[in-house]
């Protein structure tokens, strides 16, 4: 699911809230990513984006998203949340 969001779409989608509760299993036990309420579109050319506010769930937020002093974020914050 993350690979598709980051590389399979025409526009990269950064989820910002990857956690066990947002990964659902279908009838064939194939995982599906859910809850795109905090997601943001990011052009593939520019891998970094700026945020005006913190997004995500405490315990799963990447340090660069949680602390404004780190500056800009990328799709790598989803990888941090995934573990």
Active-site amino acid positions: 17
The Cα–Cα gap between 80 and 83 comes to: 5
């Amino acid at each position: 699911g993350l690979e598709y969001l980051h590389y399979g779409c025409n526009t990269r989608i950064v989820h910002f809230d990857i956690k066990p509760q947002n990964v659902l299993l279908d009838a064939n036990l194939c995982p599906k990513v859910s809850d795109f309420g905090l997601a943001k579109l990011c052009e593939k050319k520019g891998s970094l984006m700026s945020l005006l506010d913190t997004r995500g769930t405490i315990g799963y937020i990447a340090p660069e998203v949680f602390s404004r002093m780190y500056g800009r974020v990328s799709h790598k914050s989803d990888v941090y949340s995934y573990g």
